[in-house]
Amino acid sequence: MITGMDVSAESLLTLTAVLREGTFEAAAASLHVTPSAVSQRIKALEHSVGRILVRRVKPVTATADGEVLARLGEQWSLLVAEAQGELTGIAHDDDLDPRRLPRVDLQVACNADSLATWFLPVIAEFHAAHPVNVDLHRDDESVTTAMLRSGDVVGAVTSEPTVVRGCETVRLGSLRYFPVASRAFIDHWLPHGVRARDMRYAPMVMFDHNDHLQLKALNRLVAEPISPPVTYVPAAAEYRRAIQAGIGWGAVPEVEIADPRTGADLVPLARRPIDIPLYWQYWKLRSSLVTALTEIVVAHARAGLVPPRRGTAPVPGGTR
């Protein structure tokens, strides 16, 4: 309960169901109640807090105030699931097959290049140590930030340091990139080196239309503004393979360039790297699972990322 407001667990779970399912009817089916009951619960909740919580469109979306309570609802569900595991005593039964432990569902978001390089071992270690089912979302920083704000994920790796209300933010380090191309591409398009007159026509590979990293690489390579031809490849492994196939040039994580298995025929176009700071944003919540996940994320980041510059501390409160 929230002081001064009649906010019940039932009303919070109804709100999250409506936002998850997109309509009152679908939410009613998932909750095994009538659509009228769902509508009444949402109206009662809005009356209690004195705010409009949902936009009654298809699909239903949350207002800014609705996002606050939706996040609270998801957090409540997580804490209840953890408590149920403790109350059963199963976690403390040494004779029980650990494969039969009740599992808790967690939603986590990550940018594509982190997932392709250092983040998957995080999930592997987390799975090995805890009875969880992780639903991993791969998206850019603008989407992951919105997912944190609405409570859709408990944590996210992102290049966006913007504070999300109700979350903590830790600076992890930087993912290092170099602009690269295949040898055949360089021989054909850039026979005299990286010059604006040639780069203007040399095709570029971008991850998507919001690939700010690629634009940053272009601005570093040439001083004057140019608009080369672009091919979009919105998947990390396929993006690198497109460059190796000679479709265009692009920025690739250093760890992939250095690996003989993934870095074959990737030739750097510049010596100066591009370091993209990464952050772990997570729910400000007394959850043993979220705490454990955060510790694993930080440990792997320290091993796999370029450390923050000396003197920089984790960002309080708070790429592709």
Please give the C-alpha separations between residue 29 and each of 37, 81, 188, in angstroms, as whole numbers.
Answer: 11, 22, 60
Encode pLDDT of 133-166 as tens digits: 899 998 776 677 778 877 788 999 988 888 787 8
CATH architecture for segment(s) 103-320: 3-Layer(aba) Sandwich (3.40)
Per-residue pLDDT tens for 31-69? 999 989 999 899 988 888 888 888 998 898 888 888 888
41 against 90, higher pLDDT: 41
Q: What confidence score (pLDDT) does residue 94 get?
A: 58
> Which of residues 85 and 20 earns the better pLDDT score?
20
Q: The domain 1-97 is classified under which CATH number: 3.40.50.1000, 1.10.10.10, 1.10.1740.10, 3.40.50.300?
A: 1.10.10.10
> Helix 35-49 crosses helix 64-88 at what angle (to 10 degrees)?
110
Tokens of 203: 């095709």
- pLDDT tens readout for residues 225-279: 999 999 999 999 999 999 999 999 999 999 999 999 999 999 999 999 999 999 9
Q: What percent of the chain has pLDDT over 70?
A: 88
Residue with tokens 């998850």: 20
* C-alpha distance from residue 110 to each of 30, 65, 106, 147, 318 (Å): 28, 25, 13, 11, 17
Q: Which of 33, 70, 37, 35 is nearest to 51 (CA)?
A: 70
Contact 168, 256 (CB under 8 A): no
Q: What is the pLDDT of residues 173-231, one digit of tens each?
A: 999 999 999 999 999 999 999 999 999 999 999 999 888 899 999 999 998 899 999 99
Collapsed DSSP state (helix, strand, coil) of residue 261: coil
Locate the DSSP E strands across 111-154: 132-138
Q: What is the mean pLDDT of the chain?
A: 86
- 135/310: higher pLDDT: 135
Q: Where do the structural domains in the chain lie, given as residue ranges?
A: 1-97, 103-320
| pLDDT score at 70 | 84
Where residue 207 falls (left for φ over 0; alpha for ψ -120 to 50; beta otherwise) is: alpha
The model's pTM is: 0.73
**Alpha helix segments (H runs only) across 130-258:** 141-150, 183-189, 196-199, 212-221, 236-244, 254-258
